[in-house]
Structure 1
Amino acid sequence: MAGKALSAKQLSDYHRNGYIVVKNFCSADETGRLYSTALNDDAMRKNALDLNDQSGKKTRLSLWFTPGNDVFGYLTRSERMIIPVRQLLDGDAPVCHFHSKLMQKEPKVGGAWEWHQDYGYWYKNQFMFPDQLMSVMVALTKANKQNGCLQVIKGSHKLGRMNHGFSGEQVGADMTMVNNALQTMDLVYCELEPGDALFFHSNLLHRSEANLSDEPRWSIISCYSLQSNLAYNETSTSWKTPVNVVPDEAILEWDAGSLSNNDFLAKENDPALKETGWEK
């Protein structure tokens, strides 16, 4: 897959279903380097946010905006990432990186993510065009039903943006419409091996259950937009800065800096966690 465009079938599947899985997106060595960095880089720990689900369990993430000269920045900016993202986003403008986040679901204690659309969050950043926004999740550990893998409702991106309110400290979709979608469309468990990638649309309904297993579930999710997609309530600048693409071999072969240079999100600065009045 490295450095190659998606096939016509993959493009068709994405537009029909709202997502595709690309197996072996990263090699075992690449995934090992990414996971080792996630575990050992102090900046990840120091900048982690805890968000409570409805039951009070904590789901932990570290989120940063500008992709740097670190191993995660190299993945985010790699040809194998940007070429398919450019194919999938709706328009001809340059691809920009909105943010990346390291998702950390620890054994027994990792909390759930409630049903939501990413655009349910990003609507508060006042991005204009959901078809010009998407996410790519790369599994750093095995993701399965036992440790709370991502669940998606196939084709739900075609429903448009749903109303979202607060579920614990998270933003959750209107459950009446979610339940309607579950009666109408297929629920899919996206089980991934380490190194597999899941590409998904910003309006795809998805959730994950708490990790009650003995194994961790860690993943990196990079979120992309086109430069033509204006965000009127976003103070970071990476969303309008074209990605400086690097070759795939950077992930393993280039010297990697520390993540401490990255512009991490502070919880109090996240527009998605602020009341606007229409969440009630």
Structure 2
Amino acid sequence: MGKEGFGPHGNEFKYEDPEFRVTDEVRRAFDDTGFIIVRGLMDSDEIGKIKKSLEEYGLVEKYSYGVPDHEGREPRVLLWSYCGNDVLGLVPRCEKVASTCEKLLGGDELYHYHTKIMMKDAKKGGSFEWHQDYGYWYKNGNLKPDLMSLFLAVDPCVKENGGLQVLVGSHKAGRVDHNFDGGQQGADKERVEHLKKVYDHFYVNLQPGDGLLFHCNLLHSSGPNDSEQRRWAFNCSYNKRNNNPVKKHHHPLYNKLDKVSNNAIRECENFCEPEGKEFIDPATDETVKAGSKPGES
């Protein structure tokens, strides 16, 4: 990782293997803004394998579902609990992701909370409302906001096709109440409008392989996709072992994360192993109200 941060908030870094590590500057940038951007976290070969796994083996068609926004437009999600040994399962297990997140959250052991693919079809993909992940993970029995996620661009994720928006530093504002807005849980709208006056509203532009690592209390959203280009992103989330949820729910309780080397994805030829992942049935997911299933209009 480059030693000095760049970009408008000084929290962007370039992935440089084997020099990729969390320095004091990287940790300060994360603590100050609630996120860091790692340019080129995954190379073109790794992204190519992720795309092949998603596009050629029927997972999206079989397991994804819509989550309507407040206008009824549907982004789609594909969500599972346990990593596995295929290409998709190695992403959250590789050192450059798992160990980086561990260090950003203070060095305590993390486990894989879940992974999801977030998809917005060209011309019709819906929005994700302003929210904090902890806004609804709180309701799952996680007593502390000791969770974080990687948002990895599979396609270009830019303003035009419904890319990410964040309120820089908003993780410092604490948890905001969340309620359903359409099929999604969104942060209290009045409070978000006030927070927009305090924290910089920033549009994040990511190219395939760029990753945004962010704290679970960071307020973020994304707009609809009215462009000609789809927008797919890989999102894996972690929880601290010592923050093991106090109640059983649709995401996993503590289970040991077996890390793999940074070469594991490049070397893996197991593109799809759905057994054991435990894809989420939206009927059991209390954090969304699912819309259409694959094949439905």
- In the superposition, the TM-score normalised over structure 1's length comes to 0.93
Residue aligning to 1:144: 158
Alpha-carbon contact 2:128-2:221 (below 8 Å) kept: yes
Larger deviation: 120-129 or 204-213? 120-129
Give SS of 2:243's match.
Answer: coil
Instruction: Say yes or no: does 1:88 pair with 2:104.
Output: yes
> 3-state SS of the aligned residue for 2:88?
helix
Q: 1: CA distance between counterparts of 2:59 and 2:90? A: 17
2: CA distance between counterparts of 1:244 and 1:196? 23
| Structure 2 contact 125–226 (Cα < 8 Å) conserved | yes
Separation in structure 2 between the aligned mates of residue 107 and residue 221 of structure 1, nearest angstrom: 20
Matches within 5 A, 1:233-248: 233-235=247-249, 238-248=252-262
User: 5 Å matches for 1:19-58?
Assistant: 19-58=35-74
Once residues 70 and 238 of structure 1 are traced to their aligned partners in structure 2, the CA distance between those partners, rounded to angstroms, is 19
What residue number does 1:73 align with? Answer: 89
Report the equivalent of 1:272. Answer: 287
The answer to whether the 8 Å contact 1:151/1:189 transfers is yes
Given the alignment, which residue of 132, 147, 158 partners 1:117? 132
SS of the residue 2:140 aligns to: coil
Q: What is the number of equivalent residue pairs in this alignment?
A: 272
Map of 1:199 onto structure 2: 213
Per-residue Cα deviation, 1:175-215 (whole angstroms, up to 9, x for no partner) = 11100110111001111010000000000000000000000
Partner SS for 2:90? helix
Q: Secondary structure at the match of 1:52?
A: coil
Give, in angstroms, the shift of residue 59 of structure 1. Answer: 0.9
Distance 2:199 2:251 in 1: 37
Aligned partners of 1:8 and 1:202: how far apart in 2?
21
Match of 2:142 in 1: 127
The Cα of 1:6 is off from its aligned counterpart by 1.6
Match of residue 278 from structure 1: none
Q: Could you tell me the TM-score, scaled by structure 2's length?
A: 0.88
Q: 2:80 aligns with which of 43, 51, 64?
A: 64
Deviations 1:145-167, CA, capped at 9 Å, x for gaps: 10010000001001111011111
Distance 2:230 2:193 in 1: 29
The question of whether the paired residues in 2 share the 8 Å contact of 1:41 and 1:259 is answered with no
Q: Deviation of residue 10 (structure 1)?
A: 1.5
Q: CA deviation at 1:230?
A: 2.1
Q: Which amino acid letter does the alignment assign opposite residue 118 of structure 1?
A: D
1:271 is matched by which residue type in structure 2? E
CA displacement at 1:71 relative to structure 2 = 0.5
**CA–CA distance in 1 between the matches of 2:60 and 2:252?**
19
- 1:184 maps to 2:198: yes
Task: Report Cα offsets for 1:72-124 as digits up to 9, x if no partner.
Answer: 111110011111111111452x2100000011111011110000000012011
Alignment of 1:223 onto 2:237: yes
Identity %: 35
Once residues 234 and 72 of structure 1 are traced to their aligned partners in structure 2, the CA distance between those partners, rounded to angstroms, is 25
Is the Cα–Cα contact under 8 Å of residues 135 and 201 in structure 1 kept in the other structure?
A: yes
Q: 1:172 aligned to 2:204?
A: no
Displacement, 1:236? 5.5
Matched, 1:15 2:34: no
Amino acid at match of 2:61: R
2:129 match: secondary structure: strand
Match of 1:277 in 2: none
In structure 2, the gaps of 5 or more residues are 1-14, 290-297
C-alpha displacement of 1:237? 7.0
